[in-house]
Amino acid sequence: MKIAAQSASVKRAQIEFHNFASLGEPERALPIYAEENARRGAFLRNHLAYAGSLTPFLEIGANAGHSSYMLVNEFGAEGFASDLSADSLRHGVALVEAWNLERSPIRLAADALHLPFADGSLQCVVAFQMLSQFLNLDSVFEEVERVLRPGGVFIFAEEPVRRRMTLGWYRCPYPDTMKSWERRLHRWGLLGYLVRDVIGAHQEESFGIRQNHTMVLEDWRSLAERHFASWEYELYIPERGWGERWGKRLFGAGLGGTLAAVCKKAGSAPADPRSPWERLRCPDCQGALARKANGALWCACGYTAPLEDGIYNLLGSAEKQEFYPGDRADIIDFSRESHEAHLGSGWYELEGVYGNKFRWMGDRAEARLKNLRTGPQRLRIRGHAHSNLFAQGVAPWVRVTVNGQPSRQWTLERTGLFILETDLPPEARYTVAIEAGPAWRVPEDDRTFTVNLSMIRLDPPD
């Protein structure tokens, strides 16, 4: 039985996460993107003689598109940046302004499992730090192989190689949200022997993204050789503290790490004179897409994709309706202006930027949601717990009451992002009361704080 590469709930979680994380904290995200581009650019230069031309390229899972901007501005390549999240791609305008970029890729919202490109239409596909979000990697490799022309290359990097030397007790968050003892073990290079493979995967998984950290180096080699004629790669084994330095000496690749590779498709092909637009195909019927004078893309089957804020949404019609429904009464997204109509009492003013806008609450706040589907629903609350919440001498908690009936209470274990979910019986409308504690205050502010929230929504149960 073939394992599904991604479920609809995981795709929904990816769209939410990328919009939230891509530029939720610009002062933090931009330096990280610059560091990633320096690292990825160095790898590309090391293997450029083997890879050959990078034009036309497609980056899948591009997030804000920062590495695609690197390809067009530093490497002189031409191509496309794609991600499930159209909102994260929109943040590319901030990169252009911050880095004073002259050129931009064509940006598409697209599914890596159903790429809107004709067979053999691309010279290069790149993927950075995104393949581990697929449970069946053969499905991704098959689709990449389909769109590559003979002699084309698939370049992927920063994918996890499973650590064999670990007890695998739990997923560990990023260092800035670690507990003090975790941070100490991390600094010594010992924490990796206790946690499940990749430090930082906890945040993505809390959104509902399923991570595939099962692949050892031999598995990656077998996967590449099933789909491509040849490949070359680099393996990075971390050396965080004395624990990992000694582990690397003793266990080598068994200590895990990350993999970067260039995979080459068999054959060769003459130069392809088609324009970028002639390489696209309709995600509904796989027919040719045409470009109108106003920039919109359309197909004879009736499919259309207007140019919206510099982005084409080329998801299939059914997925587009599910993942991009516009303003809806069952979603309170604080980054949308319409969210305020769904809020009751207990909220402070709106703060934050881009996809990470939020509101602080005091002891209690209310919100209203409408059930647009039939049957039971799953309530999903996204929020953030400040360190002050944990300094009050009482374990932080959040409690939810729905339509006057107690639903669930949670204890928060660490600072930072949290996702809370609980199943609800079928009702036409839901009044959600959220309580939290312990309350805390800051000097020169008469408000009382607990947590802040950035999204409240209804999802179909898995």
CB-based contact 189:244 (threshold 8 Å): yes
- Domain-embedded: residue 1: no
pLDDT of residue 183: 92
The tokens of 37 are what? 């581009």
Closest CA to 55 of 156, 3, 126, 116: 126
**Residue 58 CA to its chain's centroid (Å):** 17
Q: What pLDDT score was predicted for residue 277?
A: 93
Other C-beta atoms closer than 10 Å to the C-beta of 180 total 7
Gyration radius of the chain's alpha carbons:
23
191: tokens are 């924490």
And the tokens for 75? Answer: 């490497």
174-200 per-position pLDDT tens digit: 888 888 999 999 999 999 999 987 887
Residues contacting 246, CB < 8 A, separation 6+:
none
Given a contact cutoff of 8 angstroms between Cβ atoms, the answer to whether 313 and 324 are in contact is yes
Residue 271, burial from CB neighbour count under 10 angstroms (0-12, 13-18, 19+): exposed
Asked if the structure places residue 50 within a domain, the reply is: yes
Residues 227-262: tens digit of each pLDDT: 999 999 999 998 989 999 999 998 888 888 999 999
In a domain, residue 2? The reply is no
CA distance 151 to 229: 9
Please say if the pLDDT value at position 28 is more than 60. yes
Question: Which of 274, 292, 318 corresponds to the end of one domain?
Answer: 318
Query: Are 186 and 38 in the same domain?
Result: yes
Average pLDDT estimate for 150-154: 97
Could you tell me if 372 and 295 lie in one domain? no
Helix (H, G, I), strand (E, B) or coil at 77: coil
Rounded to the nearest 10°, the torsion over CA 207, 210, 215, 219 is -140
446: phi > 0 → left, psi -120 to 50 → alpha, else beta; which?
alpha
What's the pLDDT band for 2 if we cut at 50, 70, 90? low
- CA distances in angstroms from 242 to 180, 250, 267, listed in the order given: 18, 12, 47
**Of 287, 318, 349, which residue is a domain's last?**
318
Q: pLDDT tens digit string along 363-388?
A: 999 999 999 988 899 999 999 999 99
Q: Are residues 282 and 349 in the same domain?
A: no
Q: Within 13 Å, how many C-alpha atoms sit on residue 148's CB side?
A: 28
Q: What is the CATH number of the domain that holds 126?
A: 3.40.50.150
Same domain, 265 and 354: no
pLDDT tens digits, 289-348: 999 999 999 999 999 999 999 999 999 999 998 899 888 999 999 999 999 999 999 999
Same domain for 369 and 288: no
**What is the per-residue DSSP string for 84-127?**
S-HHHHHTHHHHHHHHT-S---EEEE-BTTB-SB-TT-EEEEEE
- 404 and 443 share a domain? yes
326 located within any domain: no
Quick one: 242 and 103 in the same domain? yes
User: Is 347 in the same domain as 292?
Assistant: no
62 belongs to a structural domain: yes
Residue 99 scores a pLDDT above 90:
yes
Question: How does the average pLDDT of the chain come out, rounded?
Answer: 93
Q: Which residue has the tokens 């498709």?
A: 265
Q: Are 105 and 74 in contact (CB under 8 A)?
A: no
58-to-35, 95, 269 alpha-carbon distances in Å: 21, 19, 18
CB pairs under 8 A, 24+ apart, for 373-377?
Answer: 373/330, 373/458, 373/460, 374/426, 375/426, 375/460, 376/423, 376/424, 376/425, 376/426, 376/461, 377/330, 377/423, 377/424, 377/426, 377/430, 377/458, 377/459, 377/460, 377/461
Task: Give the whole-angstrom CA distance, residue 345 versus residue 363.
Answer: 11
- The whole domain housing 255 covers 8-318
Q: Could you say which of 264, 283, 318 is where a domain stops? A: 318
pLDDT at 130: 94
Give the chain's domain count: 2
Task: Report the Cα 1 to chain-centroid distance in Å.
Answer: 27
Q: How far is the CA of 124 from the CAs of 36, 115, 120, 150, in angstroms? A: 19, 14, 10, 11
Is it the case that residue 349 has pLDDT exceeding 70?
yes
Which pTM does this prediction carry? 0.92
In a domain? residue 37: yes
Check which CATH number belongs to the domain holding 386 and give it.
2.60.120.260
What's the pLDDT tens digit per position in 273-286? 899 999 999 999 99
Helix axes 92-99, 26-46, angle to 10 degrees: 80
* 324 inside domain: no
Q: Are residues 47 and 192 in the same domain?
A: yes
What pLDDT is recorded for position 43?
97
In a domain, 147, yes or no: yes
341 and 256 inside one domain: no
Phi, psi (deg, nearest 5) at residue 353: -135, 160
Partnered with residue 305 across adjacent β-strands are: 297
303 and 381, same domain (yes or no): no
Q: How far is CA 273 from CA 53, 56, 276, 278, 280, in A?
A: 14, 11, 9, 10, 14
Work out the pLDDT band at 392, boundaries 50, 70, 90: very high
pLDDT digits over 71-88, tens only? 999 999 999 999 999 999
CA distances from 251 to 85, 246, 363, 404, 447 (A): 39, 9, 51, 57, 54
Whether pLDDT at 223 is above 60: yes
- Contact, 262 vs 233, CB < 8 A? yes
Q: Is the dihedral of CA 101, 92, 174, 223 positive or negative?
A: negative
Q: Are strands 290-291 and 429-437 parallel, antiparallel or unpaired?
A: unpaired
Residue 1 has pLDDT above 70, yes or no: no
Beta bridge partners of 398: 410, 436
Give the whole-angstrom CA distance, residue 246 versus residue 401: 52
Q: How large is the average pLDDT for residues 158-173?
A: 89
The string of pLDDT tens digits covering residues 416-449 is 899 999 999 999 999 999 999 999 999 989 999 9
Task: Give the Cβ contact number of residue 87 at 10 Å.
Answer: 23
Q: Are both 237 and 365 inside the same structural domain? A: no
